[in-house]
Structure 1
Amino acid sequence: MAEASAGRTDNPLKRLAGCGQAPWLDFISRDFIASGDLYKLVQEDGITGVTSNPAIFEKAIGQGEEYAPEIARLLQEDKLLRREQIYERLAIEDIRGACEVLKPVYEATSGRDGYVSFEVSPFLAHDSWETEQEAHRLWEAVDRPNLMIKLPATDVGVEETKTLTAQGINVNVTLLFSVATYARVLEAYLRGLEQRVARGKDIRQVAGVASFFISRIDSAVDGEIDRRLAEGDPDSAALKALRGKVAVACGVLAYAHLQEVLASPRWAALAAKGAQPQRLLWASTSTKDKAYSDTKYVEALIGPHTVDTLPPATLAAFRDHGTVRQSLPGDVEAARAVIAEAERLGLDLPKMSEKLLAEGCTAFEKAFETLLDAVEARRMEVLGISEPIAPKLISCKAAYPLWVEETASCCYFTPECEDDELIQRIWARDPKVWTGGKEGEWLGWLSAPRDGLEHIKQYEDFARDVKAGGYTDVLLLGMGGSSLGPEVLKEVFGHVPGWPELHVLDSTDPEQVAEMAAKVDLAKTLFIVSSKSGSTLEPNILFAYFWAAAEKALGKAPGAHFVAVTDPNSSMEKTAKEHGFGHIFFGNAQIGGRYSVLSPFGMVPAAAAGYNVRGLLENALLMADQCNPEDAWDALSLGKGLGCVGSGSSSNKVTFVGSGKLAAVGPWLEQLLAESTGKQGKALIPIIGEAPGAPDKYGEDRFFIDLRMAGETQDPKLKALLEVMDYSLAPDWVDEKYPGYEIQMDNLLQLGQVFYLFEFATAVAAAMMEINPFDQPDVEASKVETRKLLSTYEQTGKLPPEEPFAVDGDLAFYADPRNAEALKKAAGGRTDAVSLLKAQLERVKPGDYVGLLAYIARTPGHIAWAQEVRHMLRDGLHVATAAEFGPRFLHSTGQAYKGGPNTGVFLQVTSDKAKDLEIPGHPYTFGVVQAAQARGDFDVLAARDRRALRVHIRGPLEEGLKKLSQALQIALKEADHVRGS
């Protein structure tokens, strides 16, 4: 561009200064500054300023290769940089570079010129507090006096112009399309100066411009004129005469208003203190209509106290053949006549102005988003990270717009805020997103991926220590959130050669505890005791047992073989220090158990087993970045879908299907959904481990989540189910498929993304359901009842006596008086197993679910038994089924079963223990603890008025399970016969 002026003695650009106008360049890029081209424009063409906007940076950073090396360098220095941070560092360096080039102009004009504009994020156009905070942050980051912070002329932008001007920050207000808006902007500038004077501050170095977008006005007006002409408008002659005149008329009238203000006593008072006028800046001066001269708008608006910011093509055109004359103040009366004629012809200029402002903001948002996407693509390329996973809606064509875009209408729930505001408020840790209680104290999981990567060296050092220690096994002792996340990692990543094998124990069943003790080499096992508070019963008694076992195997105090993962200042920290644990890792006290997998509670066992902790956290961070207000579509869509079915709908049976290893994600997701949402009579009821069946075996109450690896074929039965089922409960918005989502992973490390995606979506769902997703009151209720029973045992040496209301051989039946009476009445007074089970099954209604709650060892054989029974019940009753093992489900689905809707019909299974285990230092055994937990669980179910029946197997367990299964099979047939008749 600079070369074109070489050899010219009469450069129109340089002559603009003689008319009181400053030519600025509407362009910026790294190479343009570094090559000296900007400096040449300043020296040879008299350019005295630079403007930038998201569209300009999108072209500079997003479409070229010049920034690629710098992005790579930044990420080498800090791999945790987000795309927004990378963009800002690039842009700030460019803005600083331009400011340095223009610094001599700034100094020569005593701060009257030489400015470079830098725009706040266009996503903040309607957020006053965020706009002010970002303006200050950018002002301080650039740290140059000749910077101008650019704000859009929204209501927020106008108000912040006053605020920032009063604070001594230079402001460029952009996207002006009407004289009325300009008058408000100028008033805001004046008031800002006056406030600054009132505070005793200097105003001599405070500058401002108001950017009037000229050619866009004519484009809008001419477009409307051309439309009316094409329709044969009777005012065609008058309309034709108005083409190309409105924009300049608006500019002339805006300038007239500036002249009036500068002639006022009010301005004289400010000028006496050294105030600079807020100059009118003519933007968008390139012509869009080829019928007009390419210098039309530049030549028509030249005058004192103005700036013309020229894109490169317009600058070159004006330099080549522009005509310089002082065209302002212009013919004001003629300009008024043009505006009056436009009004007479029904051209709604105020409405057009509003539309142009909205379209301008949207255009900048889109350009900014495109820019950030380009930076993100570079970031992922440098870091070797694949694209983020994206849930795909798997419902019919009619479901998509209603489900995702108009969720409120399909679930009769109206959120208090728009989607982007909801996400912003979650990130702002605003408890009013949910119930306004203590939710804000439990949002540490939002930053868990970044926090983990900031401490990655601690994980990696620990991993090296474990490998060097010669351990063959790592045994995690925990319960609920402390165990379910690590269990997923173990099942998905398996045993890494050269590293110890990870095992997870979260049971008080004596058979299961003994089996684990025999499975590992106690002398070569690293024990991880995982407990947030340190007061949870199960980890404490498991620690007591395995401490004694390890001490015996090693022949010495085994402290070096133990690791604690706990919250700071917990009783577990005290225990770990007293016993000389080899390591203590502290979790974030603001992260609840079910949200803790990406915190030390999940990453410590992962590191010990040799898993790629860094890769998991980097993937989680990628998803966290996707959950920002601008990009949270996927998490928001999934969360709104879940929230919709959880807000009182019977279609709340969230059925998880995971292919291969990914089936292991189910128990973790089960806890997250059930414990977060099962309150106030609402819940998402997770159904995991249920194999897909024939369509005619299902009720009309399902929401599916299908997780599989990319390239894997969808389960044929699930595919058939999703394709042919008629979801008639909501025929207006789902025609042929059950609603739900499918998610495909490209690699196993994207499990980190899955964790974060569902954590965020669950928080969104809870917001829609108007519940607190971070408490678990009914889990606590079960713990209280268990403690009461164990207290009695400590005092008396036995649990409180209980009597079955019916016995059939080795099967004894228990229930609270209400349930017992109802069952006996339904059974016609018969007390055999088939009659009682039939009576219980006949209580199941459409939309209910059956919960099989087995307080027995979770062995492969018993899992197979539970699966056989639950599928038999599903196929016979056409309802969702859950097969759970106690006590682990108490810290998971137990919350939803008690605090959610009363749609569960429960069959609890307990048994005598053939072999029990003593717990060192405790008066009770594992068998006693498990029995107390089962009874405490059952008591709370009864207190919540649930339909619950307990079957206790008195004889050999395997024979009792077989007899129970047979009785259920017969009862189901008879119940179906009764129902059919």
Structure 2
Amino acid sequence: MADRTTVEITDSVLAESARQLLDELVSDGVASKLTAQDATLWGPEAEAEASIRLAWTALHRSSRPLIGEVESLRTELRAEGLDRVVLAGMGGSSLAPEVIASTEKVALTVLDTTDPGQVADALAGDLERTVLVVSSKSGTTVETDSHRRIFAEAFADAGIDAASRMIVVTDPGSPLAELASAEGYRRVFLADPHVGGRYSALSAFGLVPAGLAGADVARLLDQAASVAGQLSTDSPDNPALRLAAALGAAHAGGAEKVVLADTGSGITGFGDWAEQLIAESTGKQGTGLLPVVVESPDAPGFADAGADATPVAVGPATGASAVAVTGSLGAQFLLWEYAVAVVGRLLRINPFDQPDVEAAKKAARALLDNPQALTSTEEPAAVIGPVEVYGPVDKARTGTLTDVLREFVSDVADGGYLAVQAYLDRLDDASATVLRSEFARRTGKQTTFGWGPRFLHSTGQYHKGGHPNGSFLQITGSNEEDVPVPGRPYTLGTLQLAQALGDGQVLAGTGRPVLRLHLTDRAAGLADVVRAVQELSP
């Protein structure tokens, strides 16, 4: 039976403005052309890239052989007592498997961080029962390579053959594939190189880690297959075309932000995956859709979304939603991939490149190559208890932390947004997430929250390439203990700071306002920051 997958445009004004776009998409045969992997859909400038990035439209069929391969390996591992799966991956290599595992309620430890405390906690797990999935499309991801080195040393120190615990997911011919072969790693899964990272949920990058953790990947592919026929049909009932038309029409009307709230979808953390897909695909050339993931349909930013934002329910429609998208996880993966690719056509951009992502990586590498630049950064504008303030904020010299934040948020552009970026431990410092709703409630501005450096592989593209109206609050913290990276001249703490400062430099260089708060005592400093935000006038 076909999966019950729907897109309902509940806002009558938006539905009317979307109708013309929907008719154009149907008459142009966009859905069938996309299914046929027609690389001309986004214009001549995008054609070369698109021609090697469209195999995701068939993954619900082409990924079928992975079902037996993953199950066979899982059975083999469990027979040896290896039932703890740790995933080292960033962006497209971690977001989908985390959503799959969370939704299916199977245990998967995800390392998409350079925070020493979070990595140390993962290392403190039972190594005797652990396998590490090292997942990187390029095979050169610095965070993932650092995790691989750290775990390899830990396995060796515990008297465990590290190669026997390493499972690799990468593209053919990547440096990681070559290393795995040379080192004799236990298993290498080579993904389809014609699938981009953010469109890889139904590829080896999504299925291998989740499947090894115990998720039913066959059911996931069945869910996607059940909706594939709808998505490839040139019809106004095609849910992907309906979603694309709604988002495109909203953007044309000034709603450049998409606020995502789960309304009972049965999916855990879907917004975190959709966030990368939307931001990296559309946020470039000064345009795009900014995804804003909120805590609930009652959260600030959704229930009170202004003219600059479209509230989208993942699940049944609510009173506040303008659009509602329903369907199982596998169906939603494929639906949103189709829809966002089509939005790229409507915005006249290439949805498959990420031209501004590399800038922050280069800045971080430059800092790592010159450690003195990290230790001789500018003096703080002020030290307010356990919080050091860095940035061009006049109040920092004489005022309270609340004064500093009040001055900073007062400069957020009309129709702009505030991005809170926490380079902290997303487990131990989870209370930082409250800052999103607190800022949104008190400023009336759309506010995003991202864990660094994970957001650099997600919304980082939009921050630098999308609409230039963001203001950025970085939060960094001192580390009680650091973790050396074997074979590299830096620690995780050094890498984490270099990533924050590097991205801050690039943002500031494009004229974006950046304020950094450094917590010399994480718990006390975070409490002070939350309290200061709560003292802002709503």
What TM-score do you get using the length of structure 1 for normalisation? 0.52
One-letter amino acid matched to 1:429: Q
After superposition, give the CA deviation of every residue in 1:236-272 in whole Å (9 maximum; x if it has no partner). xxxxxxxxxxxxxxxxxxxxxxxxxxxxxxxxxxxxx
Deviation at 1:800, TM superposition (A): 4.9
Corresponding residue of 1:707: 314
1:837–1:828: structure 2 CA closer, same or farther, 3 Å change rule?
closer
Deviation at 1:696, TM superposition (A): 7.8
Kept after mapping to 2: 8 A contact 1:814/1:950: yes
Matched residues in 2 for 1:446 and 1:612: separation? 21
Equivalence map 1:410-809=2 (5 Å): 419-436=27-44, 437=46, 438-495=49-106, 501-518=107-124, 520-553=125-158, 555-630=159-234, 633-647=238-252, 649-659=254-264, 662-691=267-296, 692-693=298-299, 697-708=304-315, 719-720=318-319, 722=320, 739-743=322-326, 745=327, 750-793=328-371, 799-809=375-385
Matched residues in 1 for 2:113 and 2:358: separation? 18
Corresponding residue of 1:969: 534
What secondary structure, in the 3-state scheme, does the structure 2 residue paired with 1:542 have? Answer: helix
One-letter amino acid matched to 1:740: V
Kept after mapping to 2: 8 A contact 1:527/1:561: yes
What secondary structure, in the 3-state scheme, does the structure 2 residue paired with 1:679 have? Answer: coil
Kept after mapping to 1: 8 A contact 2:374/2:498: no
1:719–1:427: structure 2 CA closer, same or farther, 3 Å change rule?
closer
Matched residues in 1 for 2:263 and 2:318: separation? 13
The structure with higher relative contact order (CA 8 Å, sep 6+) is 2
What secondary structure, in the 3-state scheme, does the structure 2 residue paired with 1:662 have? Answer: coil
What secondary structure, in the 3-state scheme, does the structure 2 residue paired with 1:896 have? Answer: helix
Matched residues in 2 for 1:698 and 1:949: separation? 25
Kept after mapping to 1: 8 A contact 2:484/2:492: yes
What secondary structure, in the 3-state scheme, does the structure 1 residue paired with 2:356 have? Answer: helix
Kept after mapping to 1: 8 A contact 2:112/2:143: yes
One-letter amino acid matched to 2:230: Q
Kept after mapping to 1: 8 A contact 2:135/2:170: yes
Deviation at 1:828, TM superposition (A): 10
Deviation at 1:688, TM superposition (A): 1.2
After superposition, give the CA deviation of every residue in 1:289-318 in whole Å (9 maximum; x if it has no partner). xxxxxxxxxxxxxxxxxxxxxxxxxxxxxx
What secondary structure, in the 3-state scheme, does the structure 2 residue paired with 1:774 have? Answer: coil
1:581–1:542: structure 2 CA closer, same or farther, 3 Å change rule?
same
Moved more, 555-564 or 533-542: 555-564
Matched residues in 2 for 1:425 and 1:777: separation? 25
Deviation at 1:514, TM superposition (A): 0.7
1:740–1:791: structure 2 CA closer, same or farther, 3 Å change rule?
same
Kept after mapping to 1: 8 A contact 2:26/2:234: no
1:797–1:468: structure 2 CA closer, same or farther, 3 Å change rule?
farther
Kept after mapping to 2: 8 A contact 1:594/1:672: yes
Deviation at 1:502, TM superposition (A): 2.0
Matched residues in 1 for 2:101 and 2:175: separation? 27
Aligned identity (percent) is 35
Matched residues in 2 for 1:673 and 1:653: separation? 9
Matched residues in 2 for 1:944 and 1:661: separation? 40
Deviation at 1:947, TM superposition (A): 1.9
Larger Rg: 1
One-letter amino acid matched to 1:841: V
Deviation at 1:629, TM superposition (A): 3.4
What TM-score do you get using the length of structure 2 for normalisation? 0.93
Corresponding residue of 2:429: 862
Deviation at 1:870, TM superposition (A): 2.0
Deviation at 1:739, TM superposition (A): 2.1
After superposition, give the CA deviation of every residue in 1:633-691 in whole Å (9 maximum; x if it has no partner). 11111112122234472342332325375241111011111111111111211111333
Corresponding residue of 1:952: 518
One-letter amino acid matched to 2:37: R
Corresponding residue of 1:814: 390
Corresponding residue of 1:3: none
What secondary structure, in the 3-state scheme, does the structure 2 residue paired with 1:777 have? Answer: coil
Is 1:390 the equivalent of 2:6? yes
Deviation at 1:742, TM superposition (A): 3.5
Deviation at 1:517, TM superposition (A): 1.4
Kept after mapping to 1: 8 A contact 2:265/2:314: no
Kept after mapping to 2: 8 A contact 1:852/1:883: yes
Deviation at 1:530, TM superposition (A): 0.3
Corresponding residue of 1:226: none
One-letter amino acid matched to 2:532: A
One-letter amino acid matched to 2:217: V
Matched residues in 2 for 1:858 and 1:680: separation? 31
Matched residues in 2 for 1:464 and 1:759: separation? 32
1:894–1:916: structure 2 CA closer, same or farther, 3 Å change rule?
same
Kept after mapping to 2: 8 A contact 1:673/1:686: yes
After superposition, give the CA deviation of every residue in 1:421-459 in whole Å (9 maximum; x if it has no partner). 222332343333224222221111111111012453323
Corresponding residue of 1:909: 475
Kept after mapping to 2: 8 A contact 1:799/1:932: no
After superposition, give the CA deviation of every residue in 1:135-165 in whole Å (9 maximum; x if it has no partner). xxxxxxxxxxxxxxxxxxxxxxxxxxxxxxx
Matched residues in 2 for 1:454 and 1:578: separation? 25
Kept after mapping to 2: 8 A contact 1:568/1:589: yes
Deviation at 1:880, TM superposition (A): 1.7
Matched residues in 2 for 1:544 and 1:882: separation? 32
1:855–1:769: structure 2 CA closer, same or farther, 3 Å change rule?
same
After superposition, give the CA deviation of every residue in 1:276-335 in whole Å (9 maximum; x if it has no partner). xxxxxxxxxxxxxxxxxxxxxxxxxxxxxxxxxxxxxxxxxxxxxxxxxxxxxxxxxxxx
Deviation at 1:757, TM superposition (A): 0.5
Matched residues in 1 for 2:109 and 2:524: separation? 29
The unaligned stretches of length 5 or more in structure 1 are 1-379, 381-385, 409-413, 496-500, 709-713, 723-737, 977-981
Equivalence map 1:862-901=2 (5 Å): 862-867=429-434, 869-901=435-467
Matched residues in 2 for 1:696 and 1:672: separation? 23
Matched residues in 2 for 1:787 and 1:828: separation? 30
Corresponding residue of 1:934: 500
Q: How many residues are paired up?
A: 532
The unaligned stretches of length 5 or more in structure 2 are none
Equivalence map 1:18-33=2 (5 Å): none
Matched residues in 2 for 1:697 and 1:762: separation? 25
Matched residues in 1 for 2:78 and 2:70: separation? 12
Matched residues in 2 for 1:828 and 1:489: separation? 44
Matched residues in 1 for 2:207 and 2:52: separation? 22
Equivalence map 1:3-82=2 (5 Å): none
Equivalence map 1:286-297=2 (5 Å): none
Kept after mapping to 2: 8 A contact 1:830/1:836: no
What secondary structure, in the 3-state scheme, does the structure 1 residue paired with 2:287 have? Answer: coil
Deviation at 1:698, TM superposition (A): 4.1
What secondary structure, in the 3-state scheme, does the structure 2 residue paired with 1:699 have? Answer: coil
One-letter amino acid matched to 2:314: L
